[in-house]
Structure 1
Amino acid sequence: MRWGTYFAVCAAVISIGLALGVTMPLVSLRLESWGHGSFAIGVMAATPAIGVLLGALVAGRWASILGTTRLMQACLLFSALSVALLALLPSYWLWLALRLVIGVALTVVFILGESWINQLAVEQWRGRLVALYGTGYALSQLSGPLVLGLIGSSTDLGFWAGTCLLIGGSLVLLGRSGAPRVDAHSASGRGLVAFCRNLPAIAWAVTLFAAFEAMVLTLLPIYLLREGFAEQLALTLVSVVVIGDAALQLPIGWLADRVSRTSLFRACGVVLLLSSLAMPLLLHSPLVWPLLVLFGASAGGLFTLALILIGERYRDDELVRANAHVAQLWGAGCLIGPLLTGAGSQWMSSHALPLLMAAGAFGFVCLAWRRDAFSVPLASARP
């Protein structure tokens, strides 16, 4: 196994998490200070999801032209430029366009990077290696709100920090090779309906976690502010959610190499359902701290286990194509989640965020217990 390449690819993708962890809450807080309502902020949070859907369609064709490594580097640099322009062009409508561009570029990096990581992982270590990547990504997002809390949201320093991080992510990929073989049609996104039909629980888990991540970084700070928390404490509570995601992914990955992965998958869904329902009741009590840890850990566990279950079923072109479908589902979750939560928070209930997460978790639990929830055989069992 190419350990140097594994850690370099992880570092490149993790740089995105840290950059987004700083800039996404900053965008929401800046819009809040400009007087925009929850729905307008939700639209801004959902805009990159359109870019995700577009990126899933073009990743394979672009990779076949430029090569995986060069394409990932180019997309990271283009994203860095777009984040810098957020600081230079403070306009709601221009920010919508820039966030769309960022969504396209970073989706290409995620599709190719996660395929690369899963391809490198040996089967007996797959759970821990994918979980290590997930932990690093979650820690990067955790550090983002903490860094923003230290430097403050009143200046553009957070945008410039994100720009530098994305440039650094591009540099660590210099000279790396060994990515999955990609042709022009591998990551075209064709066959999404069949993917969802064959692996419905995995498809819904990806969509649900995408909605969770978009809402946690953009709307959870606003939810907490409007529930009476100070800005510093609200950002700290957001970080606690990501601590739960980061701290428990390695234990989940370790368990995934030793117990039934599908049973562990279902257990994460049940914990997410219960923690989401409890949040409005315990928000102003000391129990909110461990509750938010479980909330983050269970949601992150769904995505980590989804990647593990995909990686044990697909290789090369099929693996890249499956990750393109993951990106499409991610885009759908990022688009629908913030829009529904923003609208629900403004016009229905202030607790729309945890209640919608509970509804999504209930849907996952129902799908995960279906007999045909994991009908695609393991790659090792296929001819």
Structure 2
Amino acid sequence: MRWGTYFAVCAAVISIGLALGVTMPLVSLRLEAWGYGSFAIGAMAATPAVGVLLGASLAGRLAGYFGTTRLMQMCLLLGAVSVALLALVQSYAVWVALRLFIGVALTVVFILGESWINQLAVEKWRGRLVALYGTGYALSQLCGPLLLTALGTLTDAGFWTGVGLLMGGSLLLIGRTGAPQVDGHSASGRGLLLFCRTLPAIAWAVMLFAAFEAMMLTLLPIYGLRQGFTQEVALFMVSVVVVGDAALQLPIGLLADRISRTTLFRVCGLVLLVSSLAIPATLHSPLIWPVLVLFGASAGGLFTLSLILIGERYRDDQLVRANAHVAQLWGLGCLVGPLATGAVSQWVSGHALPLLMACGAAVFVWLVMRHGAVPASATP
């Protein structure tokens, strides 16, 4: 196994998590300060999801033309330019366009990077290696809001930090080998409905975690502010959720190499359901902190196990195609989650975020109980 390449690819993808962890809350807080409502902020948070859908349809074709490594480097640099423009041109309409482009570029990196990591992983360590990547990505998101707190939200330092991180991620991929060999035609993102029918629990888990991640970075700080917390405490709540995600991914990966992955899948869904329902009841008590830890851990476990289950079955073109479907579902989750939460929060209930996550977790539990995780005949 190419350990140097594994860690370099992990670091390159993780640089995105840190960059987004710094810039996404900053965008939401800026919009809040400018007087925009929950729906406008939710719409901005959902904009990259449209870019995700576009990026998923292009990743295989572009990788077949440019090559996996070169394309990942190009997209990281284009993402850096787009983040720089967020700092230079502060306009809602321009930010919508830039967030759309960021979604396209960074989605390509995610699809190819996660395919590369899964292809490098040997089967007996797959759970731990994928979970190690998931832990690193979650930690990057934890450090993002903490770093933003240290940098402050009154200047553009957060945006410029994101630019530097994305440029560094591109440099890490110089000279790396072992990437999936991609045929641009066969690795395209076509066949999403078949993928969802064949793997409904995995498909829903990806959408649910995408909605969770988009809402944690953009709407959870606003949720905290509107429930009476200070900005510092609201950002700290985001960090605690991500601590839960990061802290338990390696134990979940270890268990995934030793016991039934479907059982773990089911347990994560149940914990997410219970913790989501507990957030409104415990919000102003000390119990909120362990609840937020379990909330983050269970949501992150769903995505980690989805990647593990996909990676054990597919290689090269099929693996990239499966990850393109994952990206498409991610885009749908990022699009629907913030928009629905912003709308329900503004017009129905201030506790829309945890309650909608509870509804999503209930649907997942029903799917995994009825259909299992990965049927023997699954194809991407």
Is TM-score (shorter-chain normalized) higher than 0.5?
yes
Contact 1:76 1:166 in 2 (8 A): yes
Q: RMSD between aligned alpha carbons?
A: 1.0
Partners in 2 of 1:185 and 1:253 — Cα distance?
A: 33
CA deviations 1:270-313 (Å, max 9, x no partner) are: 00000000000000000000000000000000000000000111
1:332 aligns with 2:332: yes
Structure 2 counterparts to residues 203-242 of structure 1, below 5 A: 203-242=203-242
Aligned pairs, number = 379
Instruction: Give 1:171 deviation, angstroms.
Output: 0.3
Give, as a single letter, the amino acid of the residue that structure 1 aligns with 2:108.
Answer: V
- What per-residue deviation string (whole Å, max 9, x for no partner) do you get for residues 8-55 of structure 1? 000000000000000000000000000000000000000000000000
2: CA distance, partners of 1:23 / 1:213: 14
Q: After the TM superposition, which segments of 4 or more aligned residues of structure 1 sit over 6 Å from their partners?
A: none
- Which residue is 1:138 aligned to? 138
Q: CA deviation at 1:143?
A: 0.1
- Residue 315 of structure 1 is matched in structure 2 by 315
The answer for unaligned runs of 5 or more in structure 2 is none
Whole-Å separation in 1 of the counterparts to 2:316 and 2:99: 30
In 2, Cα distance between the equivalents of 1:137 and 1:185? 30
Pairing 1:282–2:282 present: yes
Q: State the distance in 2 between where 1:365 and 1:64 align.
A: 37
Residue 152 of structure 1 deviates from its aligned partner by: 1.1
Please list the CA deviations of residues 327-355 of structure 1 after superposition, one character each: whole Å capped at 9, or x if unmatched: 00000000000000000110000000000
1: distance between equivalents of 2:187 and 2:92? 32
Q: Is 1:115 matched up with 2:102?
A: no
Q: Which residue of 2 aligns with 1:361?
A: 361
Question: What code does the residue aligned with 1:150 have?
Answer: A
- The residue that corresponds to 2:345 in the other structure is 345
Question: How far, CA to CA, are the matches of 1:348 and 1:145 in structure 2?
Answer: 28
**Structural mapping, 1:1-383, within 5 Å:** 1-371=1-371, 373-377=373-377
The alpha-carbon deviation at position 371 of structure 1 amounts to: 3.8
Please give the alpha-carbon distance, in whole angstroms, between the structure 2 residues aligned to 1:203 and 1:289.
29
Unaligned stretches of 5+ residues in structure 1:
none
Contact 2:198 2:378 in 1 (8 A): no
Equivalent residues of 1:314, 1:378 under 8 A apart: no
How far 1:72 moved relative to its partner? 0.2
- Compute the TM-score of the two structures, normalised by the length of structure 2: 0.99
TM-score, normalization by structure 1: 0.98
Give the Cα separation in 2 of the matches to 1:38 and 1:187.
38
